[in-house]
Amino acid sequence: MKLQTGTRLGLYAVLELARDPERTLTAADLAERFGVSIHHLAKVLRTLGAAGLVRGGRGAAGGYRFTGNRRRATLMDVVALFEPAPGQRAKEPGEDTEIGGALQRVLLEIDEIAEATLRSISVETMLKPRR
Amino acid sequence: MTAIRPAQASDLPGISALDARLTGFDKPDYWREMLAPDRHFLVAETGKGTLAGFIAGEVRAWEFGQPAAGWVFAIQIDPKLRQRGVGSALFEALVARFKAEGVTRVRTLVDRKDHLILSFFRAQGMVAGPSLQLDKDLA
């Protein structure tokens, strides 16, 4: 499964900040930690801020901190901000044919399993040390 | 404080009622069969002796071609008593019994649309297992 770059950056930022909700990190800190573009990350942080998952970032030196609920926020909450919802995507050519319909049913099955997985993993579960 | 102990016949009405309230299906015979000696059927009760929840499971070998593993058949917690570690305590008690039987894996099946129970098992460290469940409508 491949995530769009924005989704991956969103997950990196949320999970890194949620490790210690008291701590603030700037977009530059996060960009350096994951070796990613600071401009793209800054945009992603604004989206996460609008969703209430992070707060801060006033001025160039302003840091961000995690403001979500570690036990309730799931990977899907972040993914849904950056990836088109399964029901919202544009219709592909050929979908109305018998073969196109059969293919759609398989793709829907995969989407449902992916969504169930992403929705079942909370930030808290993700940050638990592996036993 | 909740205490975990093996379920007894006298717990069945409470177990059946809690399950029926949460699932919409009354199945007292199914719960009575869980008292079979080769199964693990545990209840959690509050300090006042009321039912807080239950868990049921069994070690099964070569089920669907797989070596012995502990299977969790059911877990239910009274909604008023959730978020207090009752489910985790029941799960850990069941896992301890599975380990005592010598198995090294625990498995379950979950409705993929039931995000609450999926999240619970994920929080216990469970991940997607080696099998895919397949299904066909015969109507």
Mean pLDDT of the region A18-39: 95
Q: Total structural domains in chain B?
A: 1
Instruction: Please give the span between the terminal C-alpha atoms of chain A, in angstroms, as a whole number.
Output: 25
pLDDT at residue B94 tops 80: yes
Domains detected in chain A = 5-127 (1.10.10.10)
Q: Using CB atoms, which residue from A74, A113, A124 is nearest to B112?
A: A113
The predicted pLDDT at position A22 comes to: 92
- Distance, in Å, from the CA atom of B9 to the CA atom of B59, rounded to the nearest integer, reads 21
Give the pLDDT score at B130. 87
CATH of the domain at B65: 3.40.630.30
Residue of A nearest to B119 (CA): A120
SS3 of A60, please? coil
Q: What does each C-alpha distance from B68 to A17, B47, B59, B84, B98 come to in angstroms? A: 41, 36, 7, 31, 10
Comparing A92 with A34, the larger pLDDT belongs to A34
**C-beta atoms of A117 and B125 within 8 A:** no
A11 band by pLDDT with thresholds 50, 70 and 90: very high
Residue of B nearest to A116 (CA): B112
CA distance B59 to chain A (A): 22
Answer yes or no: is B139 within a domain. no
Q: Express each pLDDT in B8-43 by its tens digit.
A: 999 999 999 999 999 999 999 999 999 999 999 999
Among A120, A126, A130, most B C-beta atoms within 10 A, so best to mutate, is: A120
- Per-residue pLDDT tens over the stretch A81-106: 999 876 666 788 898 999 999 999 99
- Amino acid letter, A29: D
